[in-house]
Structure 1
Amino acid sequence: MSATAERLPEEIIRTAIEWQMRLRANASNAELHRQLHDWRCHDARHELAWQRLQQVGGLFQVSQLPDAARTIPLLRRAEADLSRRRTLKLLGLGLAAGSATLLVTTAPPAWRSDFATTTGERRRVDLGAGAELMLNTGSAVDVLGREWVLRTGEVLVDGAGWRVRCRFGECEGRQARAVLRERDGYSEIHVERGEVLISTTFGQRRLQAGNGLGIHPTQMTVLGKRALDPFAWTRGLLVVNDIRLVDFLAEAGRYRQGWLGCDNTVADLRLSGVFHLDEPAVMLRNITHLLPVHIVERTRWWVRIMPLA
């Protein structure tokens, strides 16, 4: 098969679209251009997806590309023939089907950040002065002077000296290793090594290794033993202990595209185990070996866990 007709995985096409939208939201960001260059050079298929997307974008006479769900099928159908006439025709069909809702008018905040990851991606960033930051799936951070700001998602911070601001406070570590995560309504921090000073508008607190804390708008709450290992993702793993199925799927869903859920009759079933984040399909199949359930997959973007008949 020629390079022109090569069929690309949807995950690669979707990632190329996300890169395109990040650039449109922050075109002057030199670091973003460097990250994109690294991604394109990492795999010949990445570069091919990027070139195809630019050709489609160049022929599309609007300020934004269609969203990923619409663009992927159009690129699929145009893979074997990217001529101007055929591409315009396919895009025109897509517009007719999607009307005004086809266009992406606002890029998510993560795409306007200094560093960001797409769904399922993890990335390391050197903070300098002997410190390192690692972004988990769907996360974004900004750099403000010597301070790093967690905009969304989750990060691991490790090293001699660092300062990271989360939604409701500022965390400063010395020879410390900690995970910070933004949740609905509060920020969460777990310390694996060293000590972290947490400063908020209502006070300060020092958090020692082995402890976790929820940082809320007006208070800090101690986090007890968790069903989820907060550091396992840094090793590419999802490690759970006696977790509800519905909570497991909510966590696993962060690492894959599309909708993932379960029937209410199996939501409270519990499971324990070690799962590999880079193999989401295998992760879901393993559930059927641990629990009396089966998988209903109408498309790879819509998956529901159901009880066995």
Structure 2
Amino acid sequence: MRGMSMTTPLPSDKQGAVPAEVLERQALAWLRRLTSSETTAAELREFEAWVRASPAHHDAYRQAKVLWDALKTSTGKVANAHPGIVAEYERARQRQLRTRRAVLGLGAVSALGAGVAVLHPPLGLWPAAAEWGADYRTAAGEQRTLALGDGVAVVLNTRTSVRRETEDGRLVGLDLLAGETAIDLAAGHRLSIRAGAGTSMAEAGRLEVRYLQQRVCVTCIEGSVLVSHPADRRQLSAGQQTLYDTRTISAVTQVDAQKVSAWRRGVLIVDRMRLGEAIAEINRYRPGRVVLANDALRDELVSGNFQTGAPEQAIAQLQYMFNLRAHALGNVLVLS
């Protein structure tokens, strides 16, 4: 890519306005190039000329920069966690340099971008590879009730994927691949729920399991639940909860079961939650994604009750509370 122009000829007023979508793609292509280690002085001058070409060019760059800043942290974490993807990207990039086939725009996806997108979709905009084998899946904002046999009722919350586990054609468990589910078991029924590194076993009663961002939360609503994890075991009674990740499992804590189950009534209860976490929760209930670009507000605490069926109202309330401005970039809403 060295020595090749990153842009098409700049339009003059006689050529007419370039569509905003094209300018945004060009701006993102520039950002990808300028953050590499091979940017040349000539390319920097060319970029400066591109930004100064018109107010529309400058606005496209500013909007792309907001989205880029929101994306780059999570992408960097993925690259660190999966060095093999990075190595493959470097090999692909060298092949591109040798053949000098540089393509402008978002359509030119590098091996790194493709690998990251498969393992960890950007901003969670589509199901990850781990969820592709799901027997049941819910979309954003959808809840679904499954009758999986006499005495076994399962409710899937928004953006949830599960897989059945059977023996001799008989349901013995569920594998929660992502999301949140509630299980109601009648007397005499036994079911295991696998999520991440642990497994929860219940006989009759009610429990809820949540698996997001590699962390699992198990809550016993009624009856009892045995949570088994490589690090230890936890026995839960009604109103008790434990958390675990791949390495550790927490102590048992008392919780308000009604608050935990509020989502089944269409209510999202936010109780002294950090603003960044609250937006992440609301994101689960709406298509697209909301990105908080104001880092200074990320740790501000917020409380309130929101209707899961009206996530746009929840976002509007947060905008008012924190004096945030919203800017749409495709199906991504940036708050700043």
Q: TM-score range by the shorter chain?
A: 0.5 to 0.7
* Structure 2 residue matching 1:175: 3-state secondary structure: strand
Q: Distance in 2 between matches of 1:264 and 1:188?
A: 27
* Maintained 8 Å contact 2:219/2:242: yes
Q: Which amino acid aligns with 2:140?
A: T
Q: 2:222 aligns with which of 165, 183, 193?
A: 193
State the match for 1:247 in structure 2: 277
CA distance in 2, matches of 1:99, 1:299: 17
Unaligned stretches of 5+ residues in structure 2: 1-103, 119-127, 167-171
Structure 1 pair 97/269, CA: closer, same or farther in 2 (3 Å)?
closer
Q: What is the CA-CA distance between 1:217 and the residue it aligns to?
A: 3.6
Higher deviation after alignment, 220-229 or 194-203: 220-229
Shift of 1:226: 7.5
- What displacement does 1:287 show? 1.9
- 1:120, 1:138 within 8 Å by CA — same for their partners in 2? yes
> RMSD of aligned C-alpha atoms?
3.0
Matches within 5 A, 1:203-282: 203-222=232-251, 224=253, 229-256=259-286, 257-282=288-313
Cα offsets for 1:134-158 (capped at 9, x unmatched): 1122211111212211111221111
Letter in 2 for 1:199: S
SS in 2 for 1:248: helix
Q: C-alpha distance in 2, partners of 1:273/1:300?
A: 28
> In structure 2, how many angstroms separate the alpha carbons of the residues matched to 1:270 and 1:99?
39
Question: Which residue identity does 1:131 align to in structure 2?
Answer: V
Give the C-alpha shift of residue 179 in structure 1.
1.3
Q: Which amino acid aligns with 2:263?
A: W
- Residue 294 in structure 1 maps to residue 324 in structure 2: yes
The letter of the residue matching 1:260 is V
Superposition pairs of residues 117-136 of structure 1, within 5 angstroms: 117-136=138-157
Instruction: Quote how far apart the aligned CAs of 1:188 are.
Output: 1.4
Q: Deviations over 1:235-283 (max 9, x none)?
A: 2211111111111111111222124324122222222111011111111
2: CA distance, partners of 1:218 / 1:304: 34
* TM-score (normalised: structure 1): 0.60
Q: Which whole-Å CA distance do the structure 2 matches of 1:194 and 1:124 have between them?
A: 21
| 1:163 is the counterpart of 2:192 | yes
- Rounded Cα–Cα distance in structure 1 between residues aligned with 2:237 and 2:330: 42
Provide the rounded CA distance (Å) in 2 between the counterparts of 1:255 and 1:288: 17
Q: How many residues align structurally?
A: 211
Give the direction of change, closer, same or farther, for the CA distance of 1:262–1:235 in structure 2 (3 Å limit): farther
The alignment status of 1:177 with 2:206, answered yes or no, reads yes
Partner of 1:149: 175
Identity %: 24
Distance verdict in 2 for CA 1:129–1:266, change over 3 Å: same
**CA displacement at 1:288 relative to structure 2:** 3.7
Deviations 1:13-51 (A, max 9, x none): xxxxxxxxxxxxxxxxxxxxxxxxxxxxxxxxxxxxxxx
Contact 1:258–1:301 (CA<8 Å) still a contact in 2? yes
TM-score by length of 2: 0.55
CA distance in structure 2 between the partners assigned to 1:113 and 1:272 by the alignment: 34
Q: What residue number does 1:139 align with?
A: 160
Cα displacement (A) at 1:293: 1.5
Question: Quick one: distance in 1 between partners of 2:312 and 2:275?
Answer: 16
Which amino acid in the other structure matches residue 298 of structure 2?
A
SS of corresponding position for 1:148: strand
The 3 A distance-change label for structure 1 pair 300 and 233 is farther
Whose radius of gyration is greater, 1 or 2? 2
Deviation at 1:202, TM superposition (A): 4.6
